[in-house]
Amino acid sequence: MMSKTNRFIWWGLVCIWLALIYYFTESPLFTGEQTAQWIRHWLDYFGIETNRPVSDHLFSWNFIVRKCAHMIVFGTLAFFAWKATASYRLAWLLTLVCAMFDEWHQSFQPNRTALFSDVIIDMVGATIALWIVWKTNKRA
């Protein structure tokens, strides 16, 4: 059984993580165009030659990096929410609501596009994270 202090700390992490997600959505530093520039910079810096396009295509480097980031960010949120609630279902539902709100919020931002597919990708990340926690707890 988790103490109230520990639950308070986990809820604090949920709130901090949500604030970071809000910042990522608000900031022009995290648009698709900016991510593509960042990827180009690092590919050039490390001298990596690739046939895969950096941006503007399905399965481009930009697409892969951004969708993996979605899964990691919302998977982390699901983990924090699970620790705060001790419920897989509540953690998953909280993450779903936050993913939908994030896309809705994004629809008001310049140079951003709200996509239902991003909510799906967010929830894939949440589901994977919660499945890992469930499997780990099952073995313990």
Model-level pTM? 0.89
Q: Which residue has the tokens 């008001």?
A: 108
Report the 10 Å Cβ neighbour count for 127: 17
Token pair belonging to 55:
């941006």
* pLDDT number for residue 15: 98
Average pLDDT, the chain: 92
- Arithmetic mean of pLDDT, 10-21: 98
- Arithmetic mean of pLDDT, 80-102: 97
- What is the spatial distance between Cα 115 and Cα 38, in angstroms, rounded to a whole number? 22
Token pair belonging to 101:
């709100």
- What is the spatial distance between Cα 47 and Cα 9, in angstroms, rounded to a whole number? 43
Judge whether 81 and 13 are in contact, CB under 8 Å: no
pLDDT at 81 over 90: yes
Q: How many residues does the chain have?
A: 140
**pLDDT one-digit tens code per residue, 94-121:** 999 999 999 999 999 988 889 999 999 9
Q: Which of 86, 90, 73 is nearest to 129 (CA)?
A: 73
pLDDT at 91 over 90: yes
pLDDT at 22 over 80: yes
**pLDDT one-digit tens code per residue, 25-57:** 998 888 888 888 888 899 888 988 887 778 767
DSSP 3-state of 127: helix
